[in-house]
Each structure stands twice: as structure tokens, then as C-alpha cells.
Amino acid sequence: LPDSGFDPAEVHYAAVWKPHPGELAAFPNLRVIFNLGAGVDALMADASLPDVPLVRVAVADLTDRMTEYVVLHVLMHHRQELYLRQSQREQRWAPKFQWAANALTVGIMGLGTLGESAGLALRRLGFRVVGWSRSARQIDGVDCFAGAAGFAPFLQRTNILVCLLPLTPDTRHILDRDVFAMLNRDSPLGAPVLINAGRGGLQNEADILSALDDGTLGAASLDVYETEPLPQDSPFWSHPRVVLTPHNAADTDPDEISKYVAQQIVRFEAGGALENLVNRTRGY
């Protein structure tokens, strides 16, 4: 921070996570800003952000942890864990038929580094996987859809919807009732499932709750929320069809991030290119 006993003019690199608006403008000689996570929406909202390269952290550690989270929650719903835990609490021995992974199609919204890794892991487990992104992608074993024209066909194939999109003006509240109503209901799940490990601003929380209550959605795993920490009076805490986690899907080892930032600075100082540059027009 500028009042921490050093000259702000001597600071050339900033490694930040959700700084206060205007905070980075206090450093007149910044060369690069490193965002200590995958989502840059907080920085994009700062109108005074210095016009220097913006790099998002994309280390293998973060990618692997997000893949773990997605696979865990897809398997949880596939293997009927909500029903089985309820049966355990009620001391009720009542197994149901368990279908194979290839009976379900998992749809991944967002096919960047995180989405591609999760999709490939799910394919190896036997799930059918489709994906949607703003621009066209090709991933082995994944049926990829793109743009506005591909959105409805993607949803119509999807039984479990995994959202890993960045938060931009175009994606805010994209997870709404209209989207849930287009999801495929023709699977052993009975009703589609939502998994959001992207950003809280992607979801219309009132729509999620009403869709869960009327059967449009069968269940939801949520790691992110419009307000964090999640308020104590949120219905998500106690909803029987919600699996709630406290925005920890992809906590990353600080040592791995530090190495990544240091390597980028060394390369940049030597005249090399920065990796994972954010396109400010797109917002990711």
C-alpha cells in the first residue's frame, strides 16, 4: 500500500487480489499487474486501473484443484450422494439402481484452461461431455459449441451444467430460469443439476432457489455467491438440494503462485512475452 513506508514510484510490479478501487492508481510506474487468481472482474470494475499489462494467474496447481472440485461434485450427483446421505441419517437401507457415467451428459460453460481440464477428466471417467464458449474451441472427446447460435443446442444436451465462465457484463446473471428450463431432462437424474464454481455474479440466486423448489433443477452445488461470505439468512445454507462450499474450489498454494509471478517477471525483464494476458475488451 502507498502508506507502508516505501516510495510508490519505486514499485514496478503489483500482485493483487481484489484491491480497493483506485488503490493501484497510486503507483505511477507500474509495469505489470498480476491478478492472484483466475477471475479479473474486480480489477475490470476499477475505472482508474493503470493501463499496463494485466496477467491472470493460471498455474497447474489451480487448474488441478478446480478439476478435483468439478469431478467431485459431478460424481456426487451422479452417484446419488444426497439421497444416500439422507438415507443414512434416517437409518434407512434403500439402495436405488445406479446408472453408468455414460448415461449422463455434463455440459461445461467456459472452455478455457479450467474448463478443458475438467472436461477431459470427466471424459476419462466415462461421462459424455459437451462444452460452450464464446469463441470456437476444439477439445478431443468433447462436443464443443460456441457463441449465441450454439448456446441453446449446448443446453439441450446437458444433464449436469458446470459453470466456469469469467464474470463480464455479458455473463452477469447468465445462470437464470431461462437457462435452467432449456437443460436436458431426459436422464436417470430426473432433473438437471447446476454446479457453479465460477463467480457468484454469474447466478440469479432467486431463480436458482425457485427452480430447485419447483423441480426445474434437481440439485445444485454452489461454491460462489453474489454476497460473500454468504449471509447467515441465505436459504442456501439449509436447502436440502444444495451442496454449499465456501468459495474454496480452487484455493492455490501461495508458493506456486509466487514462483509463477517471479518467473514471469524474470522473463519480462529479459524482453520476453508475458503469459495469460487479459484482454481488457473481453474482460478475461
Which residue(s) pair with 33 in the sheet?
14, 54
Alpha carbon separation from 95 to 79, 88, 98, 100 (Å, rounded): 11, 11, 9, 15
Q: Which among 199, 267, 280, 282 is annotated as catalytic?
A: 199
- Known catalytic residue at 199: yes
Would you list the DSSP string of 11-69? --EEEESSPPTTSGGG-TT--EEEESSS--HHHHT-TT--SS-EEE---HHHHHHHHHH
Q: Which residues does 78 contact at the CB level (< 8 Å), separation at least 6?
A: 99, 101, 104, 127, 160, 189
C-alpha cell at 5: 513506508
- Known catalytic residue at 173: no
Classify residue 99 as exposed, middle or buried by CB count within 10 Å of its CB (0-12, 13-18, 19+).
middle
Task: Cell 493501463: give the residue.
Answer: 51
Q: Which among 172, 239, 241, 247 is annotated as catalytic?
A: 247
- Residues annotated as part of the active site: 199, 247
